[in-house]
Structure 1
Amino acid sequence: MSFTKDYLQKILPAFGSRPAHPVLRFNPSVESARAEPETIKVEVFDYNIKTIEHHEYNSVYACEKFKNNDRITWINIDGLRKSDVEVICKGYDVHPLLVEDILSVGQRAKMDELDNILFCLMNMLYYNAASDSIETEQVSIVLGKDFVLSFQEEANRDVFNPVREKLKINTSKLRIAGADYLCYSLIDIIVDNYYTVLELLGEHIETLEEEIIRRGDTRSLALINGLRKEMIILKRNVGPVREVINGFLRSDSDLLNERTTKYFKDVYDHIVQANDLVETYRDMMMSMQDLYLNKVNLRLNEVMKVMAIVTCLMAPATVIGGIFGMNFESIPYLHNKYGFFAAVALMLFIPVVMIYAFKKRGWFKR
C-alpha cells in the first residue's frame, strides 16, 4: 500500500495534478487536533473619536485592562493556543460553546448569538500562484459591547491591513462608529478578498482554456481536474458566508446599530455576486472538460480518417496483386513482358482517381 502511495506521489506531479485537498476528508464528528504555536501575536487597537492606542503583545493577559474602558477595543490574536483562547474569552464573557468553535478545525462558516455576544466564523482565502491552489485560513470574530475579538490561525498574513490603516485616520468612519461597524469592516474586507482570489482563478481558467484549444494533451486534463478540486474548496468556503451575513441582517441584538444594517446588506450583495461567480466558474470548468473530450474525439476522428483513406488507397493494389498472384495456369498478361508495368501503372492510377474523387467530395476539408 505504501509503495502504491509513493509511486502515485511521484507520477502525479509529472502530469500537473496533486492529491485532493485535506478539507475533503474532514470529519466533524471526530475531535480535531491543531498544532499549537510556540508563540502568539496579540495586536490591540483601543480607540475613540479623539485618540487611538496601538499595542502588540505576546500574551493575552495584557488585554484585560482594555475591558470596560469606555473605548472601542479590537483585539486580534494570531496563533491559536487553547489556554490563551480560554483565558481571553473568559475575561470577555464569551460562552464556552463559542470557544469550542474558535478552536475547531475545518469548521463550516457560521454565525451564532449567545449571551449578548455575536459570533461569526469564516475562512480567509489566498491564491497561491506557485502551486495554482487556493489556501484557506480560519478566522473567528466575536462582537461584544464596545469590543471585537478576532482569532486567526497564522501570524504571517491576513487581509485586515486596510482596516488597520483606516483606524489610524481620525476622520474615518471606523473611528466615529461603534464596534458593530468594526465587525462589519472585518467581514467586508474578507469578502472583498474573495473577489481577488476569484479574479486570479478566473485568469488561470482562461489561460487553461486557451491551452486546451491550442494543445489539449494529458497535462491539460490533469490541470482541469486540479482546478475542479479548487472549485470545490472555493464553493465550500464562499457558499455558507451568505448565511452568515443573513444572520446579522436578521439579528435583533442591541449590539447592532440600525444604521449598520445597510452596510451588512451591501456585504450580502457582494457575497451573492461571489457565489454567482463561483457557479459560473464551475460551469466553465465543466465546459472545458467537454471541450477537452471533444478535442480528443476530434483528434481520434482525424486519425481514423487518415487510416481509412490510406486503407482505401491501398485496396486497389491489394486486389490487383491478389488477382495476378492466383495460382492458375491461364491468366491474361501473365507471361507478357509488359504485364508487370501494366499492373503497377493500374495500381497507381486507381488511387490517383480515388484521391481526386475524395477531394471533389470534400473529404480532405477540416
Structure 2
Amino acid sequence: MKVQPEKYLKYLLPNLSELFGTQRTREILSVNPTVVPKREEAQQVVITACCYTKDAIEEHKNISLEQALDLRNSNKIVWINVDGLRKADVEKLGERYGINPLLQEDILSIDQRAKMDEIDSILFCLINTLYFNEQKKAVEHEQISMVLGKRMVITFQEDLSRDPFNALRERLKLPASKTRTRDADYLYYTLLDTIVDNYFIVMEKLGKEIEGLEAEIIKNTSKRTLAYINAIRKELIVLKRMIYPVREVISGLLKSESELLEESNERYYKDVLDHIVQAIDLVDNYKDVAMSMQDLYLNNVNLKLNEVMKVMAVVTCLLAPATIITGIFGMNFKAIPLLENNNGFWIAIGFMILILIWMLSIFRRKRWF
C-alpha cells in the first residue's frame, strides 16, 4: 500500500495557499501581452448622455444605441457614457464618431496597460480606475476608455454597478459649473482628474490597513501576520501597475499638438500630472513601509527566539552544578565523602540550592534576565 502523506498533512497544517493568497498572485501575474484574451459580451449595456452649453443641459438616461448615434448632430457639447461593452456597439459608435478600428480594439481589450493615442483627429486615453474592496482587503480596477473629438467625449466602462463619474454629472447640472463654460477638452481633463483623485482615496484606505498591520506586528507575530504582509505587498504591485503608466498618458497629452486641446487648459493637465507624480511617490513610500514591516516581523521573530534561547541558556547554567554534583556522587567508588552519612543526601541538596541561589544573584547583578 502506497503511503500518501499529503492526504493527512492538511489536518495538521493550515491551508497555506489560502493563508498566503496564491490565487491572488496568479491573478496579478497572469497578464501576458502576447496572448489576446477574449472579452465576454456584456449581458446588459447602459448608455447615458449629457448634452450641454453654457446656459442649458440635457441629461439622457438609459438611451438606445440609435439615440446615442443621433446626438452627433447636436450643436452642444456631447458626453456619451457606455457602461458594458459589446463589440457591435463599439463598432457602430466608432463608425459614427470617427473612432479608428485600432482604437476600437484597445477599447475592447482586457487588462491593457494605460496608454494614450492620437489618430484621425481623435484623442484616445485608456486608463484604469481603482476601487478598494473592504471585504477582501484588495485593490480592484476597472478599465476605462475615453475618446475626445470635436465638441464630444465618449467614455467606455466595463462595470455597470460602479461609476466614478456620478459626482461629475451632478456638478454639470449646476449653472455656475466651470465645465459648462469651456470646451470638451476641459470635460476630458475633469474625467481624468476624477480618476486620479480616486487613486488617493484607495491609497488612503490601503494606508489604514498598513497602519493596522504595523500595530499587529508589534503586538503579535505569527504566520498569519506574515501572510497579511504578503497580501499588502501584492496590492502594492497592483497599485504600481495601474498608476505608474498614467504619468506617461498625461505627459503625452501635454506634448500633443492636437487642435482639440486648448492652450488655456494646459495648466489643468499639468495639475493632473502633479497629482499622479504625487500618487507615484506615495506608492513608493508604501512599498518602503511594507519592506520595513517585513524587517520588523523578522526582527520580532528573532527577538522571540533570542528570548527563548536566553531562558534555556539560564536554565541550563543553573542546572549544570546540580548535574555535576549528582554525577560525582553517582560514580562507582567505594570511598566517597558523605556516602555513609545519614544526612548526606540533604547536605548535597542544600549545597545544590546554595549554588543555585549564588548563581541567580550573579545573573541578576549582571542583568542577564
1:109·1:120 contact (CA, 8 Å) conserved in 2? yes
1:45·1:73 contact (CA, 8 Å) conserved in 2? yes
State the SS of the aligned residue for 1:20. Answer: helix
Q: How does 1:1-366 map to 2 (within 5 A)?
A: 11-13=16-18, 19-20=24-25, 22-57=27-62, 59-364=64-369
With normalisation by structure 2, the TM-score equals 0.94
1:37·1:80 contact (CA, 8 Å) conserved in 2? yes
2:41·2:85 contact (CA, 8 Å) conserved in 1? yes
**CA RMSD, aligned part only?**
2.0
% identity of equivalent residues: 53
Which amino acid in the other structure matches residue 361 of structure 2? Y
> How many angstroms apart in 2 are the aligned matches of 1:245 and 1:108?
14
Which amino acid in the other structure matches residue 304 of structure 1? M
**How many residues matched?**
362
**CA positional deviation for 1:65:** 1.3
Cα distance change on mapping 1:314 and 1:363 into 2, 3 Å:
same
> How many angstroms apart in 2 are the aligned matches of 1:144 and 1:68?
13
**CA positional deviation for 1:58:** 5.2
> How many angstroms apart in 1 are the aligned matches of 2:326 and 2:50?
95
1:121·1:139 contact (CA, 8 Å) conserved in 2? yes
**CA positional deviation for 1:21:** 5.3
Runs of 4+ in 1 over 6 A off after TM superposition: none
2:19·2:227 contact (CA, 8 Å) conserved in 1? no
**CA positional deviation for 1:122:** 0.6
Q: State the Cα deviation string for residues 278-297 of structure 1 (Å, max 9, x = none).
A: 00000000000000000000
> How many angstroms apart in 2 are the aligned matches of 1:259 and 1:9?
60
**CA positional deviation for 1:23:** 3.5
1:120·1:142 contact (CA, 8 Å) conserved in 2? yes
State the SS of the aligned residue for 1:212. Answer: helix
- Structure 2 stretches of 5 or more lacking a match? 1-5
> How many angstroms apart in 2 are the aligned matches of 1:4 and 1:142?
55
> How many angstroms apart in 2 are the aligned matches of 1:268 and 1:109?
14
With normalisation by structure 1, the TM-score equals 0.95
2:20·2:231 contact (CA, 8 Å) conserved in 1? no
Residue in 1 that maps onto 2:3: none
**CA positional deviation for 1:22:** 1.4
> How many angstroms apart in 1 are the aligned matches of 2:77 and 2:257?
21
> How many angstroms apart in 1 are the aligned matches of 2:28 and 2:224?
24
Between 210-219 and 317-326, the greater mean CA deviation after superposition: 210-219
Cα distance change on mapping 1:349 and 1:16 into 2, 3 Å:
farther
- Structure 1 stretches of 5 or more lacking a match? none
1:16·1:223 contact (CA, 8 Å) conserved in 2? no
